[in-house]
Amino acid sequence: MRRPLDLRHVISPGLRDLVELANTDDFDRVTEQVRDLRGCTSPVNLHGWTITTDQTTKQVVRSYRSEDEPSGRLLTTCGNRRASRCPACSRLYAADTYHLIKAGLSGGKNVAETVHDHPRAFVTLTAPSFGPVHNRPTTDTGKPRPCSCGESHAQDAPELGTPLRPASYDYSGAVLWNAHAGALWARFTTYLRRALAEHLGMTQKALNAALRISFAKVAEYQQRGLVHFHAVVRFDGPDGHTTAPPVWATFDALHVAVGLAVERARLIVESDAVGERVIRWGDRFKVDQISALGDGELTDAKVAGYVAKYATKNAEGAGTVDRTLVCRPCAGRGYVRGPDGFHDRCEDCDGTGQAEPLTNLAIQQHARQMIRTAWALGHLPEFAHLKLWKWAHMLGFRGHFSSKSRAYSTTLGALRDVRRAWRTAQAEAARVRAGLPVDDENTTLVTASSWTYLSSGYRPGEELLAAQVRHDRAYSEHLKSEGAPWL
């Protein structure tokens, strides 16, 4: 007897699931949902509904229920900034950051175009040394010379940035510096205003009345595992970007003031365990003028491109991991409170508080030692506020990868709103084409909704469709001959 062909054993689970999806009532909708995710690696699966009613007539104007989807759920993008997690969402984040920084330099997106003529600088601030590291030094004439260890390291040598003498390297100092880097930056901006007033021979009050300084900054990890900051600094008039700064507020004055503020900004950290530490900037800092003419070294687009690139990098540059190391059940404490009120050793982490043993992490010894140090310092009550366990995988640095002063330019949220509004407009256009009623401006619409999180990721069949989406997008990007490479 001949049996029907059974494909279950010869085709992959993905393909089998895809065949199943293709047999649902609305395969077009399945593909559309995946296409809307633009290749997101790990979409969020939601279950729920949204209903919009007309307040006066009590009529339902529109409703959406995830149950009506062919797969019974709504998929939304993960929105992760990090390229190591989701290349697709990270590209979108980079593009938004690019436009945000560019608007603050050239105008557009509600920023006056005259900002282009204001003094603007690209400033890089670095951490001090915590001990000699392997590097690629050059002579005064720019010729390469060997590292202090005697070797000439290749450009991608893994030992670059790692200590020459790990036993005497100041790991506590390095981790504490990372943990205070954000606070040191805040202090720097305060001191910059003071230094500028002093340099120009005027009072702080007079300076503040005539000049506004706005910033947009990103953090980047150096190979030695310390963050440094790149910042766009712009001078505006008293009413912000729409007004011209006073004539005495020059790039040269800014240059001098940055030098003074770098020297003076410092934080004192006191601890019985590690003694008194002065958190300050390293001697190496850079202040480059952003050319207004567009013919200089540093154009608006170039600066926006740098910042967008740094904003989507994480600590990978320092060779660490991109996930928290805190054991979830015990929140890093190593114990859980039992029903009798006594502390029980956490079984998930064997009492270490770590989600995975640090010795098992596939990373370099230097990054591991930074993590170990962060973990050890995290036990000290005087450093509790630094949440060093939570940020151990970031080598102590607490998050804020990019930040800006409100006056600098538009916000990422505003850019997302524009995108959402555009999508709504498209949906309305589709309703008109379908002959459905369109919202009247005079009606009061009320929206109610309820959503719950189900899971993350695709069904195996959807994963294949997403791979096709990624392929198509990569191909069209390849064809795009102009514009920034990550767009």
Q: Which is nearer to Zn ion, 99 or 134 (CB)?
A: 134
**What is the footprint of Zn ion within residues 461-480 (CB under 5 A)?**
none
Strand, coil or helix: 281: coil
Binding status of residue 349 toward Zn ion by CB under 5 A: yes
Q: Nearest approach, Cβ of 480 to Zn ion (angstroms)?
A: 21
Residues 6+ apart with CB under 8 A from 97: 304, 307, 308, 311, 312, 402, 412
Phi, psi of 455 (to 5 degrees): -170, -175
Cα angle 346, 351, 355; round to 5: 85
Q: Nearest approach, Cβ of 169 to Zn ion (angstroms)?
A: 14
Position among 75, 307, 325, 327 found at the interface with Zn ion (CB under 5 A): 327
Strand, coil or helix: 475: helix
Position among 15, 46, 51, 78 found at the interface with Zn ion (CB under 5 A): 78
Phi, psi of 223 (to 5 degrees): -60, -30
Q: Which is nearer to Zn ion, 115 or 327 (CB)?
A: 327
Q: Nearest approach, Cβ of 38 to Zn ion (angstroms)?
A: 8
Position among 254, 330, 386, 394 found at the interface with Zn ion (CB under 5 A): 330
Sign of CA dihedral 304, 307, 313, 318: positive
* Span of 75-83, 105-113, 170-178, 408-416 interacting with Zn ion by CB under 5 A: 75-83
Q: Which is nearer to Zn ion, 14 or 79 (CB)?
A: 79
The Cα-based distances of 239 to 102, 162, 242, 294 in angstroms read: 20, 47, 7, 26
* Span of 57-65, 266-274, 339-347, 417-425 interacting with Zn ion by CB under 5 A: 339-347
Q: Nearest approach, Cβ of 228 to Zn ion (angstroms)?
A: 21
Give the per-residue SS3 of 337-401. Answer: ECCCCCEEECCCCCCCCECCCHHHCCCCHHHHHHHHHHHHHCCCHHHHHHCCCCCHHHCCCCCCC
| b/e map 35-71, b = 16+ CB within 10 Å | eebebbbbbbbebbeeebbbeeeeeebeeeebeebbb
CA distance 227 to 99: 24
**What is the footprint of Zn ion within residues 130-169 (CB under 5 A)?**
134, 147, 149
Q: Nearest approach, Cβ of 337 to Zn ion (angstroms)?
A: 12
Phi, psi of 90 (to 5 degrees): -65, -35
Position among 322, 348, 439, 463 found at the interface with Zn ion (CB under 5 A): 348
Position among 30, 74, 89, 315 found at the interface with Zn ion (CB under 5 A): 89
Q: Which is nearer to Zn ion, 55 or 365 (CB)?
A: 365
Q: Nearest approach, Cβ of 379 to Zn ion (angstroms)?
A: 15
CB atoms within 10 A of CB 416: 13
CA distance 39 to 44: 13
* Span of 60-68, 186-194, 319-327, 473-481 interacting with Zn ion by CB under 5 A: 319-327
Position among 34, 40, 94, 265 found at the interface with Zn ion (CB under 5 A): 40
CA distance 178 to 197: 29
CA distance 207 to 210: 5
Binding status of residue 94 toward Zn ion by CB under 5 A: no
Q: Nearest approach, Cβ of 107 to Zn ion (angstroms)?
A: 31
Count of residues interacting with Zn ion (CB under 5 A): 13
Q: Nearest approach, Cβ of 329 to Zn ion (angstroms)?
A: 5
Binding status of residue 224 toward Zn ion by CB under 5 A: no
* Span of 34-42, 269-277, 318-326, 404-412 interacting with Zn ion by CB under 5 A: 34-42
Q: Nearest approach, Cβ of 104 to Zn ion (angstroms)?
A: 26
* Span of 80-88, 100-108, 114-122, 286-294 interacting with Zn ion by CB under 5 A: 80-88
Binding status of residue 86 toward Zn ion by CB under 5 A: yes
Containing 262, the helix (H) or strand (E) segment is helix 251-264
Q: Which is nearer to Zn ion, 119 or 332 (CB)?
A: 332
Q: Which is nearer to Zn ion, 198 or 348 (CB)?
A: 348
| b/e map 262-286, b = 16+ CB within 10 Å | bebbebebeeeebeebebbbeeebe
What is the contact surface with Zn ion in residues (CB under 5 A)?
40, 77-78, 86, 89, 134, 147, 149, 327, 330, 346, 348-349
